[in-house]
Amino acid sequence: MGKSLLDKVWAAHAVRELPSGQTQLFVGLHLVHEVTSPQAFQMLREQGLTVAYPDRTIATVDHIVPTHTAVRPFEDEEAEAMMSAIERNCREFGIRLFDPSSGHQGIVHVIGPELGLTQPGMTIACGDSHTSTHGAFGSVAFGVGTSQVRDVLATQCLAVQKPKLRRIAVEGALPPGVYAKDVILHIIRTLGVKGGVGYAYEYGGAVVERMSMDERMTVCNMSIEGGARCGYVNPDATTYAYLRGREFAPPDEAFERAVAWWSSMASDADAPYDDVVRLDGSSLAPVVTWGINPGQAIAIAEAIPRPEAYGADERETAEDAYRYMGWQPGTPIAGTRIDVAFIGSCTNGRLSDLREAARVAKLGRVKPHVKALVVPGSQAVARAAEAEGLDDIFRAAGFEWRLPGCSMCLAMNPDKLRGRQICASSSNRNFKGRQGSPSGRTLLMSPAMVAAAAIEGAVTDIRQMLAGSAR
Amino acid sequence: MSDLIPIRRVSGRPIPLRGNDIDTDRIIPARYMKAVTFDGLGAYAFYDVRFDARGQSTGHVMDDPRYQAKGPRVAIVNKNFGCGSSREHAPQALLRWGIKAFVGESFADIFFGNCLTLGMPCVTAEEATVAALMTAVEDDPAHDLVVDVETLTATYRGRTYAVRLPDAARRQLLDGTWDATRVLLAARDAVRATAERLPYVRSFRP
Ligand code: SF4
């Protein structure tokens, strides 16, 4: 019987089995941001600990940074205090910080891959649940809490339980207008928001194998929304081509040796799985969420389901979602008027996402009642997009072109919904209040669908729009 | 570093927090995470559910006069409690509000782990058990709910219910190694040896 990538990475990083039955796991790359780390550094100080492997931790700032100005000090004193704290902590403990002056700042899950820090076969941890994004490279990457951030800083290790493994094979080929975001929203809708609890997800099949690294990151990013703490794709030629030449990737003379090791870490053909799920990518349509968790999603042509359509388990949440969203049962999701359009986040804030959105932005102008934001995932994404003139396309169509950060994905900076505004968003969470207003409403969808909604002023089927433009 | 503190039993006044898929954004809205410490988070636990736009109480169970006990509390929850963000701010806020343990149908992975590193047991029970426990508490909340990690039981008003806890978590609570730092630090040499075996740590040098 062969081994899975999870088995191999786990074995390579296992320091020892702990008496509790957990594994002491070495962490190859630790990423840090300003929201979940200051308390961890404080714990180090209080407990008289140092950072064990300072060069295996990289820090950046993303959650609280304003996207309309880079001027310091920030107007928001709390944000400024958090910014100063991470600067001081990184200085004091000898950790490299990619702040806005570095030219490498951005959302932590965008900069790790684009700098070549994220590599196959690694274990990666970060005090952030979307650390699963890095699994796109064939790493075992998961989010941890602040006390565990302290553990990684102090020991470069975590005490963790090895998860079970579910392979999700998406076969066929995606129709035009259907994106990686639709694939993962469909997976979550199918398996449920708690379907992955206790599991790692291995994504494969023809659709995933054909995906670019950006697309694989979109899929792995939302593993946690399906309950799976980590999700990965086996590394292949696409992975290696992406990494070659990146700043922190192995240099040319070592690259072939690296590829040999990376390839050896991929799952064997006869690897064991605790569960296998097969889905047909050819039958997918654009997906939009209608409720208050990412599993409450429907295809664009469907009507918002009645709560009775859900099983006993999910009915209560569905009823709660109905009350919060204020829908009439049975209304189609297409045509829902929106107030705000948000393109960005670690799910869909990369260059290819902005390209797809810009392609749609060229087809019209943002409706006057819509506030539309484009927030690149990193400074590098912003530079590349500007070099292609995407910023001009967006501005000309009435979108605001912002500085990189998390922005309205969780609204810890000034970018927030107001009141009960409805936002078409390329981010990953539609939880109550997620986008900054306690009564704000979020509809998750692909960046192209967000751009289309901005232009129509309402949720719309991107396929029709693209077909119309081709005629 | 603190000494090893075994947690065999947690007892406190119960509070039922009904609902499936209660996410950590709801437990602590992101705007209250703009601070460099966890201090004071207790006041903002479930803030947007407890207070309306004008800051008036919505009559949430946490503000219900029947549930205003001093001292430690034990929360009773339904399915997939603590899903979403990895923010330790969520268990920290609940801990600071007074909750020291949970009995629920199921918990999200990261939330469960975060609670464990804070020494807060999250034990699970059958749907029917949780329902019975919630009803018993809502009938009369003025007694202590005892979660026993050793015997894997929850006891309320003389009735004892069976609960579950993964073996690893149970052992960590019982032997006081739930705060993992000390355990992890003890293996320094083995950590170094593991690191040196990894080709990427050696920068893929042969
Ligand atoms: S973009 Fe959103 S989900 Fe991603 S790290 Fe930032 S806040 Fe978290």
Arithmetic mean of pLDDT, B80-87: 94
**Residue positions counted in chain A:** 471
B87–A36 CB contact, under 8 Å = yes
Cα-flanking dihedrals φ and ψ of residue A422, to 5°?
-105, 130
Judge whether A183 and A219 are in contact, CB under 8 Å. yes
What pairs with residue A401 in β-bridges?
A374
Whether chain B has a CB inside 8 Å of the CB on A437: the answer is no
Write b or e for each residue in A445-464: b if 16 or more Cβ atoms lie within 10 A of its Cβ, otherwise e.
bbbbbbbbbbbbbbbbbbbe
A145–B171 CB contact, under 8 Å = no
State CA B154 to chain mean position distance.
15
As given in the structure block, the two tokens for residue A48 are 């008289």
Q: Best substitution site from A34, A82, A403, A409 to test ligand 1's pocket, by max atoms within 8 Å of Cβ?
A: A409
Which atom of ligand 1 is least distant from the CA of A347?
4
B36–A85 CB contact, under 8 Å = yes
* pLDDT, tens digit only, all 471 positions of chain A: 899 999 999 999 999 999 888 999 999 999 999 999 999 999 999 999 999 999 999 999 999 999 999 999 999 999 999 999 999 999 999 999 999 999 999 999 999 999 999 999 999 999 999 999 999 999 999 999 999 999 999 999 999 999 999 999 999 999 999 999 999 999 999 999 999 999 999 999 999 999 999 999 999 999 999 999 999 999 999 999 999 999 999 999 999 999 999 999 999 999 999 999 999 999 999 999 999 999 999 999 999 998 888 888 888 899 999 999 999 888 999 999 999 999 999 999 999 999 999 999 999 999 999 999 999 999 999 999 999 999 999 999 999 999 999 999 999 999 999 999 999 999 999 999 999 999 999 999 999 999 999 999 999 999 999 888 866
List, for residues B133-167, the tens digit of each pLDDT value.
Answer: 999 999 999 999 999 999 999 999 999 999 999 99
Rounded to a whole number of angstroms, the distance from the CA of B80 to the nearest CA of chain A is 6
State CA A26 to chain mean position distance.
24
Classify residue B128 by burial, with Cβ atoms within 10 Å: 0-12, 13-18, 19+.
exposed
Whether chain B has a CB inside 8 Å of the CB on A422: the answer is no
Question: How do beta strands B9-17 and B73-77 pair?
Answer: parallel
Classify residue B139 by burial, with Cβ atoms within 10 Å: 0-12, 13-18, 19+.
exposed
Q: How far is the CA of B18 from the centre of ligand 1 (A)?
A: 28
Whether chain B has a CB inside 8 Å of the CB on A189: the answer is no
Whether chain B has a CB inside 8 Å of the CB on A405: the answer is no
* DSSP class of A84: H
Return the biggest CA–CA distance within chain B.
69
Could you give the ipTM of this predicted complex? 0.93
Q: Best substitution site from A109, A124, A223, A342 to test ligand 1's pocket, by max atoms within 8 Å of Cβ?
A: A109
Interface size between A and B, measured as CB pairs under 8 A: 225
Q: How far is the CA of A410 from the centre of ligand 1 (A)?
A: 7
Whether chain B has a CB inside 8 Å of the CB on A49: the answer is yes
Interface test with B, best of A147, A164, A345, A415 (most B CBs within 10 A): A147
pTM of the model: 0.95
Of B91, B117, B187, the CB nearest to A148: B117
Instruction: Give the Cα separation of B206 and B202 in Å (integer).
Output: 8
Cα-flanking dihedrals φ and ψ of residue A16, to 5°?
-170, 165
Collect all residues with Cβ–Cβ distance below 8 Å to A299 and sequence separation of at least 6. Answer: A284, A285, A286, A287, A288
Interface test with B, best of A9, A10, A17, A18 (most B CBs within 10 A): A18
Judge whether A86 and A96 are in contact, CB under 8 Å. no
Q: How far is the CA of A112 from the centre of ligand 1 (A)?
A: 14
Rounded to a whole number of angstroms, the distance from the CA of A190 to the nearest CA of chain B is 16
Write b or e for each residue in A57-93: b if 16 or more Cβ atoms lie within 10 A of its Cβ, otherwise e.
bbbbbbbbbbbeeeeeebebeebebbbbbbeebbeeb
